[in-house]
Amino acid sequence: MEEISHWGGFIGLTKPLGEDWVLSLLYNRVNVDGIDTLDAHTMTGNLTYYIMRNFKVMAEFTGDLLGESAAHPEKEHTGVIGVVLAF
């Protein structure tokens, strides 16, 4: 089995915006030496509204910050809109 050298990390920030709103930001960076297709460099923003303590709606967007290359031919941005209900 071949050993793979890699490094990475993340940093996040969560800030309440009033009583019912929460803003979250997350930065991710991963570099895998020799396997460029596994590299990641993203920034995610999330806005959540709490309708009740166990019921929330949220919108989230993740932007791809990697430059285009042979291993990463196009940027892949994603977004999610969701409802979370817990009991």
Tell me the pLDDT of the chain (87 aa) as tens digits.
Answer: 788 899 999 999 999 999 999 999 999 999 999 888 999 999 999 999 999 999 999 999 999 999 888 888 888 999 999 999 998
pLDDT at 72: 85
Residue 1 lies inside a defined structural domain of this protein: no
Residue 50 lies inside a defined structural domain of this protein: yes
Residue 80 lies inside a defined structural domain of this protein: yes
Q: Which domain holds residue 63?
A: 6-85
> How many residues are given for the chain?
87
**pTM of structure:** 0.84
Reference 11, options 25, 23, 27, 29; nearest CA is 27
pLDDT at 47: 98
Q: Torsion angle, CA of 3/5/45/57, rounded to 10 degrees?
A: 20
pLDDT at 26: 98
